[in-house]
């Protein structure tokens, strides 16, 4: 794999290890859009972390 392709693919990987890491940089008043479908696809841990963070 070439350096350019490897660098590009690495930049696309936005996975994090936990909800707190995903919310790093989120401040009060910001709009957050998340994907999901009905009750089976909502990001429960992310919502709970937002509530705990108080934003």
Average pLDDT score over residue span 31-48 = 83
pTM: 0.62
Top-confidence residue, 24 or 39: 24
Of these ranges, 7-11, 25-29, 34-38, the one predicted with the greatest mean pLDDT is 25-29
Average pLDDT score over residue span 13-28 = 88
Q: How far apart are the first and last CA of the chain?
A: 42
Q: What pLDDT shows up at residue 37?
A: 78
């Amino acid at each position: 794999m070439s350096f350019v392709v490897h660098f590009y693919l690495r930049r696309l990987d936005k996975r994090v290890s936990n909800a707190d890491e995903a919310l790093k940089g989120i401040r009060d008043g910001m709009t957050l859009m998340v994907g999901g479908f009905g009750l089976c696809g909502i990001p429960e841990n992310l919502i709970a972390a937002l509530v705990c963070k108080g934003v």
